[in-house]
Amino acid sequence: MRMWNIETEKMCNQHLLGEHVEMHMFVGCLSKNKSIQGYLDKKLIEVHNIEKRHSELVEEMKKRGFNHKSKLPGYKKIKLGKIDVRANKIDLRNRCKECRKMLGGAN
């Protein structure tokens, strides 16, 4: 699981939808008081931005014609975590040919 925090329009459908599901998964973990420390240590989540990121993902999903029906459940919002967007862009370029095309070569 991770929060890419990359411009949504520069992500392929698979990664866009995947990150959306993972926002729900993170909220599920937080609601059940499960540890997300490993994700925090690896700079893969910003708890305080889950709701904002979910909204950004949903907006892009709707632009692409996807039908969104899953509201984000409530959770304890705390300022916690920091995403390394530059590292995420590099990782996504290496993982996905479609995202690499949309991201281009600049960081």
pLDDT at 107 (0 to 100): 52
pLDDT at 11 (0 to 100): 97
| Own/partner pairs, 24-33, CB within 8 angstroms, 24+ separation | 24/54, 24/70, 24/72, 24/73, 25/1, 26/1, 26/50, 27/72, 27/73, 27/75, 28/73, 30/75, 30/76, 31/73, 31/74, 31/75
pTM of the full predicted structure?
Answer: 0.92
pLDDT at 106 (0 to 100): 52
pLDDT in tens, 34-87: 999 999 999 999 999 999 999 999 999 999 999 999 999 988 889 999 999 999
| 5 pLDDT higher than 80 | yes
pLDDT at 10 (0 to 100): 96
